Every structure is written in C-alpha cells, then in structure tokens.
C-alpha cells in the first residue's frame, strides 16, 4: 500500500498530522536513509524504511487485540477522567483503535479492540445476530421458569421483546450462577433481562463473541493480539 508520509506517521501515532508535518519540514524524518522534507511524498508501506526522530516506524494497517476487560475501566477510546480500555493496550501501534461494542464499567471479560471498522460493523450489525455468551452471578434463585421466559424473549421496556436467549443454570442458590447466550446487544441487555424476571446481576463477564472466545490465560486487564486464525474466523 502507498500513502503520504504525514499520514503514515500520524496513523502510527508519531503525532498529529500538523505535528508530523512540522517534524518532516525540520528534516527530522528519513526515508530509506535520506532526509525527506515533503510530507506528501508517497511511502510504500511494504518496502520503505521510515525513521522519525531516530526511531524506526513500521506500518501496520490493522491491529486486533483480545482484552480481558477488568471492572472499573470504561469502554471508550478516550476520557479526561476515567481509564479507558484503549489505555490498557500499551503495545498498540495505531492511534485509531476502538472497542468493538461496549461492556459496562463493572462488566469484565472479552472485548475486541481494533481499527477494522468493516469487521466491527459486521460483528455489531443487528441483522447478523452474532452470538454473545456471558457468565453471571445473579442475586436470587434462577429457575426453569426464567429459562423458559428467556427462551421466549423478555420485556425489557423496548418496543419488542428481546430475541430468545439461551439461559443455562450452573448453580441455583441464594446467589445463582448462569451462562447466557444472546444474539443482540442492547444497552445493559443482560442486566435488564434479569430485571425483567425480578432478579439482579451482581457480577457479569463476557466469555465469547461470535467465533472469538476469551483466552483463559488472560487475567483481568491483560490482552494479546489475535492469532491469524482468530482474525480469519472472525472475518
């Protein structure tokens, strides 16, 4: 792929477009060993070697990370007060990463972080009904009636009932443990589905989204790049 030197550098987080233009103008950028002072010069991302202020800057078109989101961090790209899921991806190269969908601040688990907008659109499109699997601890005894209600769809105060969800009871006690598979992603959906049957979610963790499963080796706050196979399966 070929692109302008200033875009190349800005995409890779070397500065804003105007900052990198200034750096280029000052002769601080080398392309294949030669100082290049024109920001519009086209760079071949496969073969050219770009050095900005002494540091080699490789180009990555797309990045894909699996994050085990910890509680207490928000699913946003930036925030003046709160820590975001993007802040956790310390090895990121691109500056345009975003989380694919949102988990509540107190929810843990699988979050895909990428800059691949087309993939995000496919995963989030309501028409695609991508499976999302959650593990939850729920205050109160979850019953077979709840299983049946979720299988029909429940009223969470929207125009229509939710799509059917597959509720599996793992432990049914004063605090129950469940696994729930849903095929849509409305705001606070899991919590609202349990509220609809008079119960409260007290812990929530996403285990999978489509073909992508949370790597059990990742502790809360840890992340890793997706493997090629994981990206292929998602795409």
> Which residues are part of the catalytic machinery?
104
Kindly state the tokens that stand for 9.
């550098």
Question: Among residues 48, 104, 168, 215, which is the contact residue for ligand URA, using CB under 6 A?
Answer: 104
Question: Among residues 48, 188, 208, 215, which is the contact residue for ligand URA, using CB under 6 A?
Answer: 188
Q: Site map for ligand URA, 198-227, x if CB under 6 A?
A: ------x-----------------------
Give the separation between CA 182 and CA 101, rounded to whole angstroms: 14
Q: Does 189 bind ligand URA (CB under 6 A)?
A: yes
Q: Does 190 bind ligand URA (CB under 6 A)?
A: yes
- Kindly state the smallest distance separating residue 136's Cβ from ligand URA, in Å: 9
Task: Please list the residues that pair with 3 across neighbouring strands.
Answer: 43
- Kindly state the smallest distance separating residue 3's Cβ from ligand URA, in Å: 36
Q: Site map for ligand URA, 106-145, x if CB under 6 A?
A: -x--------------------------------------
Nearer to ligand URA (CB atom), residue 62 or residue 187: 187
Give the separation between CA 117 and CA 61, rounded to whole angstroms: 12
Q: Between the CA of residue 65 and those of 19, 100, 107, 132, 226, what are the distances in Å?
A: 28, 10, 18, 17, 5
Q: Does 4 bind ligand URA (CB under 6 A)?
A: no
User: Is the Cα torsion angle 70, 72, 75, 76 positive or negative in sign?
Assistant: negative
Nearer to ligand URA (CB atom), residue 103 or residue 212: 103
Strand 108-114 versus strand 200-209 pairing type:
parallel
Contact 192, 153 (CB under 8 A): no
Nearer to ligand URA (CB atom), residue 15 or residue 153: 153
Give the separation between CA 119 and CA 121, rounded to whole angstroms: 5
Tracing tokens 């409260």 back to the chain, one arrives at 200
Say if residue 185 is exposed, middle or buried (CB neighbours under 10 Å; 0-12, 13-18, 19+).
Answer: middle
Nearer to ligand URA (CB atom), residue 30 or residue 218: 218
Q: Does 176 bind ligand URA (CB under 6 A)?
A: no
Binding residues for ligand URA (CB under 6 A): 103-104, 107, 188-191, 204
């Amino acid at each position: 792929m070929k692109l302008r030197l200033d875009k190349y550098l800005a995409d890779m987080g070397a500065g804003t477009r105007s900052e990198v233009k200034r750096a280029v103008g000052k002769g601080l950028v080398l392309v294949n060993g030669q100082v290049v002072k024109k920001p519009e010069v086209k760079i071949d991302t496969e073969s050219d070697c770009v050095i900005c202020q002494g540091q080699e800057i490789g180009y990555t078109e797309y990045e894909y990370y699996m994050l085990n989101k910890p509680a207490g961090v928000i699913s946003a790209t930036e925030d003046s007060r709160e820590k975001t899921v993007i802040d956790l991806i310390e090895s990121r190269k691109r500056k345009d990463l975003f989380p694919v969908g949102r988990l509540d601040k107190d929810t843990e688990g699988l979050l895909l972080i990428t800059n691949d907008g087309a993939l995000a659109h496919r995963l989030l499109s309501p028409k695609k009904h991508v499976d999302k699997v959650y593990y939850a601890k729920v205050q109160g005894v979850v019953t077979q009636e709840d299983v049946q209600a979720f299988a029909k769809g429940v009223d969470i105060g929207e125009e229509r009932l939710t799509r059917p969800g597959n509720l599996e009871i793992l432990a049914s006690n004063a605090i129950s443990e469940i696994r729930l598979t849903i095929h849509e992603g409305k705001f606070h959906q899991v919590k609202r589905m349990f509220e609809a049957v008079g119960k409260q979610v007290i812990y929530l963790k996403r285990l999978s989204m489509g073909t992508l499963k949370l790597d059990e080796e990742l502790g809360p706050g840890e992340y890793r790049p997706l493997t090629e196979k994981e990206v292929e399966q998602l795409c």
